[in-house]
Structure 1
Amino acid sequence: MDFVTVHSIFTVIIFVAFIGLVVWLFAFKRKPDFDQVANVIFADDKKPQQKQQQESDHE
């Protein structure tokens, strides 16, 4: 196999993987899962406020 054949096969594999990813992201009803994961970053917001409140209670 020469370089051109290997490059062509690799290009087809990457293209198929890209199409598979697009189908997985947009064709299936995964919006609730993505919304839940997107809000994970805000889950720790209450802990610093609680800690701050506990410190102010001790004063």
Structure 2
Amino acid sequence: MAMEFATVHSILTLILFVSFVAFVIWAYSKKRKPDFDEAANLVFDDEPESKKQHSKRESEHE
């Protein structure tokens, strides 16, 4: 007995929905927060070291 197209479509939709919910729970879990915080600050790590020291010295003089 073959499954009807609607049944297969419903099962696939359910599988994708459960996968989406699992992904959201994984992404927003507290264990992932340090990794995402580090990734969010990566854009600031591209500054050359001399530029960082220069801006640090300027802030000390102010």
Question: Which residues of 2 match residues 1-59 of structure 1 at below 5 A?
Answer: 1-46=3-48
- Mapped to 2, the partners of 1:35 and 1:12 lie a distance apart of 32
Superposed CA RMSD in Å reads: 2.1
TM-score (norm 2): 0.61
TM-superposed deviation, 1:2: 1.9
Aligned residues: 49
* Runs (5+) with no aligned partner, structure 1: 50-59
Write the letter of the residue equivalent to 2:34: P
- Mapped to 2, the partners of 1:4 and 1:46 lie a distance apart of 58
- Mapped to 2, the partners of 1:28 and 1:18 lie a distance apart of 18
TM-score (norm 1): 0.63
Write the letter of the residue equivalent to 2:6: V
* Runs (5+) with no aligned partner, structure 2: 52-62
Cα-to-partner distance string for 1:10-30 (whole Å, 9 max, x where unaligned): 111111111101211223322
- Mapped to 2, the partners of 1:28 and 1:16 lie a distance apart of 20
